[in-house]
Structure 1
Amino acid sequence: MSLPQGKVVLTDTATTPEVEPLSSLLAHPLLQDPKFVAAAGGLVVLLIFLSLFRTGKKASRRSGPTTVLLVGPSDSGKTSLFTKLVHETYIQTHTSIRPSITTFPFNSPYEDGQTKPIKLIDLPGHPRLKDELKKYVKEASAVLFVVDIQALVRNSAAVAEDLAPILVTLSNQSITTQSEPTKVLILAHKTDLLTRSSSYEIPESSLTTARARVKSILTREMDRLKATRTKSGAGGKIESLGKVAGISSSGFFAKLFGSGSTGVGLEGEDEGEDESLIWGGKGGFSWDDVEGVEITFGASGLGPVGAKKQEKEGNGLDEVKSFIWEV
C-alpha cells in the first residue's frame, strides 16, 4: 500500500545510551593512583572511628545509676540537702571541703512503691574547689544549683558569677558530646525561713515567691554579666545561626572536635570552652538561649533542724524529689 504524497513518516531514531560496565569505572585513572586510594580509604576509616567513638562517649555518660550533682555557693545548704535526701534526716552541718558521694535507692515521690538508684554528688562551693565540677560533669544527668534565697539579695552578683561558668561547662559538655541537654534545677533553698509558720508545710505562696525571686534576681545579674562580657569582646554572639540550622553555633567541626576559645574566659572556665553558648544573640539575657542545658526553677526547705525521718515530712522537698525522679 502506497502512502499519500506529502506525508512524512517519523521514526524514533534515538538510541538507548550504553551503560559503562563496572570494570571500566574501576579503570578510572584516579582509582589507579595508589596515593588517592590510600587517602580515600584512610578518610573512610577515620569517619567510622569518629562515629563509633562519639557513640561510645554518649553511651558511657548515661551508663550506670542516674548521677545528680549538687552545686552552688558556700553556705547555700547543699550538704544539709544531701543528708536529708540520703538519710532522711536534717542535722546541722559545716562548710564542706571535699565532695560527698553516695549511691542509694531513691524512692519515688509518687508513693507507687518504685525505687531507682541515684548517685548523688555534693560538690563544695569554695572558690578553690570549683574545678571539682569538671571531674564529674561527664557522668551527670542533672544538676541542682542550690541558692540560699535569704542571702541572694546581698550576694546576687557573686551567685551569678558562680552560675555562669557552671553553665558554660555543662553547655560545652552537652554540645561537644551531642548528648541530651543536661537538666538544671536552680533551687531557691531555705524557703521555709521566709515564713514564720512552724508547720512542716511551706505555704504555696512562699514557694511561688521564692521561685519568682530567684529567677528575677539571677536574670538581672546574668543580663548584667552578659553586657559586661559582650562589651569586653569575651562573650555573646551576633547571630545565632547554629540554632536556626539545628546545630550548635560552633559548627560541625567544633561539635566534632570541641569548641574553640572565644578569648578571655570566665573565672574557672577552660581555655577550650566556648563561652558564647550561654549568652545567645543580641539583646538581654534569656535562659532559653543557653544551649545544651534545660533550665528550670524550684523552691525547697528542710524544716526544723533535727527533724527525724519518722516525723511528718512536709512539702519542702517535693519539687527536688520530682526533679530527680524525672531525670
Structure 2
Amino acid sequence: MSLNHGDSLRSDATVTPEVETVSSLLAHPLLQDPKFVAAAGGLVVLLIFLSLFRSGKKTARRNGPATVLLVGPSDGGKTSLFAKLVQDIYPQTHTSIVPSITTFTLPSPYDDGQSKQIRLVDLPGHPRLRDEVKKYVNEASAVVFVVDIQGIVRNASGVAEQLPPVLTALTNLSLRLPPSAPQPKLLLLAHKTDLLVRPSPPTTQSPPEIPSTTLVTSTDRLKSLLTREMDRLKSARGGSGGKIEGMGKVAGSTSGSWFSRLFGGGSSGGVSVSEGEGEGEEDEALVWGGKGAFRWEDVEGIDIEWAASGLGAVRGEKEKGDVEEGNGLDEVRRFLWEL
C-alpha cells in the first residue's frame, strides 16, 4: 500500500510543461505592430543583400586575366622589366612617378605554341608613392617584389622595410578570399643578376644567357639578406609593443564580430576604422609568426617564391638577324605562366 501511495504521490507531482502553439506566438503584440514587422523584414533583406554583395566582391578579382603587381625600391629595374615583358624592348628608363598598367600576351615558356593574357601593373618605388599597392592589391593574383641584387648589399635594411606592408596586404587579401580560391603569390626577384657574371657581364643578348650558378647565387644572396633584415625587424617589433615606425598601426586585442565582418568594419577602443585599415592592423601578426627567429614559412596565406633575372644590354626593338634570347627572364616567365 505504501509503495502504491508513493507512486501516486510522484504521479501527482509530475508537472506537464505548457507548450505555446504557433498561433499564440504569432499573436504576440509586437508581431501585430506593422512598423515592427516592416523593420524586421527590412533588416533581414539588408543582411542577405550585404552577404551576397561581399561574397561577389571577394571573387571579382579572379575574373579575366591574372593581375600582377611589380613593386619594390626605386631603381630596382621594375620599369625596364615591364617594358621587356610587354613590348620586348629594354629602353633606358628613369624613376617612375605614376603607375603603368597594360594587358599583354605572354607566350608559353615551354615552346608549346600556347599563350595567355596577363594584366601587368608597374607601381612606382618612390617613398611617397609606395601606398599605391593598397589600391591594386585586391585585384592581384600575384606580386613581384623586384630588387637590384647589387644595390641590396648597400641598402638591405631599407629594402626589407618595404616588405612588411606588402606582406600584410597580401595576408589580408588571402583572408578575404573564399576557401576555394588560390592563395595570392609573392615572387621575391633578384634582378640585374647578369651584372654579377664574371669576368664581365654579357652584352650580346637581351635577355642574356646567365650561368645557372650565378642565378642560384643571386637567389641565395637575396634570401639571406632579406631573412636577416626581416628577423631584425621582427625583434624591433617585439621590443616596441608590436609596432614598427613607418609600417602602419598594429591592432590591439579587439577581434571583429560576425556583424563587423559582414559590414566590413571594425573597432578598436571604440574608434571606427575602415575595412582596409582595420583588417590590415588586425592581421599584421600573420606576417611575423610566433616566437623565435623570422621564417618565411611562418607567413600565412601567401605562396612565396624566389627567382633571379637579368635583361643584359640596353637596346630597342629587335632587328632582323638578332641573336636568340638567353635565359635571363625564364624564371619570371614561368612564374607568370603558372598563375
TM-score (norm 1): 0.78
Unmatched tracts of structure 2, length 5 or more? 1-17, 245-253, 270-275
Shift of 1:75: 0.3
Query: Which shifted more, 291-300 or 26-35?
Result: 26-35
3-state SS of 2:83 partner: helix
**1:174 and 2:174 aligned:** yes
Report what 1:273 is aligned to: 280
| Residues 1:315 and 2:327 are matched in the alignment | yes
Partner of 1:326: 338
CA distance in 2, matches of 1:78, 1:260: 37
Is 75-84 or 278-287 further displaced after alignment? 278-287
1:188 aligns with 2:226: no
Structure-2 change in CA distance of 1:111 and 1:151 (3 Å): same
Give CA-to-partner distance per residue, 1:8-43, whole Å, 9 cap, x none.
xxxxxxxxxxxx99x934533796642886776566
Residues 153-302 of structure 1 correspond to what in structure 2 (within 5 A)? 153-178=153-178, 180-196=182-198, 198=202, 200-235=208-243, 253=258, 256=262, 257=264, 270=277, 273-274=280-281, 275-302=284-311
CA contact (8 A) 1:226 1:235 kept: no
Matches within 5 A, 1:1-80: 24-28=21-25, 33-34=30-31, 41=41, 44-80=44-80
Question: Closer, same or farther in 2 for the Cα pair 1:26/1:104, shift >3 Å?
Answer: farther
In 2, Cα distance between the equivalents of 1:145 and 1:261?
32
In 1: Cα distance, 2:128 partner to 2:299 partner: 26
Distance across 1 between alignment mates of 2:132 and 2:238: 27
Q: Write the distance in 2 (CA, Å) between the matches of 1:133 and 1:255.
A: 23
Relative to structure 1, the CA distance from residue 202 to residue 41 in structure 2 (aligned partners, 3 Å threshold; closer, same or farther) is same
Which whole-Å deviations, capped at 9, do the CAs of 1:281-307 have from their partners, x for residues lacking one?
222212222223221111111122217
Q: Which one is further off, 67-76 or 172-181? A: 172-181
Give the Cα–Cα distance (whole angstroms) in 2 for the partners of residues 148 and 80 of structure 1. 12
Deviation at 1:176, TM superposition (A): 3.4
CA contact (8 A) 1:57 1:177 kept: no
For 1:146, the equivalent position in structure 2 comes to 146
**Which residue is 1:111 aligned to?**
111
Q: Give the C-alpha shift of residue 261 in structure 1.
A: 6.6
Relative distance call for 1:219 and 1:42 in structure 2 (3 A) is farther
Q: 1:26 to 1:137 in 2, by over 3 A?
A: farther
Structure 1: gaps spanning 5 or more residues: 1-19, 237-248, 263-268
* Shift in CA distance, 209/31, structure 1 to aligned 2, threshold 3 Å: farther
Cα distance, 1:315–1:146 mapped onto 2, change above 3 Å: same
Preserved CA contact (<8 Å) 2:156 2:226: yes
CA spacing shift, 1:66–1:26, aligned 2, 3 Å: farther
Q: Residues 30 and 234 (structure 1 numbering): CA distance in 2 closer, same or farther, change over 3 Å? A: farther
Deviation per CA, 1:96-120, whole angstroms, max 9, x where unpaired?
A: 1111111111211111111222111
Q: CA deviation at 1:208?
A: 0.9
1:46 CA drift (Å)? 4.5
CA shift digits 1:143-168 (9 cap, x unpaired): 10000111111111000111111111
**Normalization by structure 2: what TM-score?**
0.76
Give per-residue Cα distances to partners, 1:185-226, cap 9 Å, x unaligned: 000001111112537321111111111111111111111101
The count of residues paired between Structure 1 and Structure 2 equals 289
Superposed CA deviations along residues 250-271 of structure 1, whole A, max 9, x for unmatched, are 6664754356679xxxxxx946
What residue number does 2:82 align with? 82
- What one-letter code is carried by the residue in structure 1 that aligns with 2:24? A
The one-letter code of the counterpart of 2:93 is T
RMSD: 3.0
* Structure 1: distance between partners of 2:64 and 2:290: 37
CA distance in 1, matches of 2:136, 2:306: 22
Q: What SS class does the counterpart of residue 63 from structure 2 fall into?
A: coil
Query: The residue matched to 1:104 in structure 2 has which SS?
Result: strand
C-alpha spacing 1:204/1:41, structure 2 compared with 1 (3 Å): same
How far apart, in 2, do the equivalents of 1:233 and 1:296 lie?
Answer: 30
Q: Hey, what does 2:97 align to over in structure 1?
A: 97
Q: Which residue identity lines up with residue 191 of structure 2 in the other structure? A: H
Distance in 2, matches of 1:168 and 1:55, equals 21
- Offset of residue 180 of structure 1: 3.7
Alignment partner, residue 243 of structure 1: none
Cα gap change, 1:52 to 1:195, in 2 (>3 Å) = same
Find the counterpart in structure 2 of residue 125 from structure 1. 125
CA deviation map 1:63-108 (0-9, x unaligned): 2221111000000000110011011121221111111111111211
Q: State the one-letter code of the partner of 1:93.
A: T
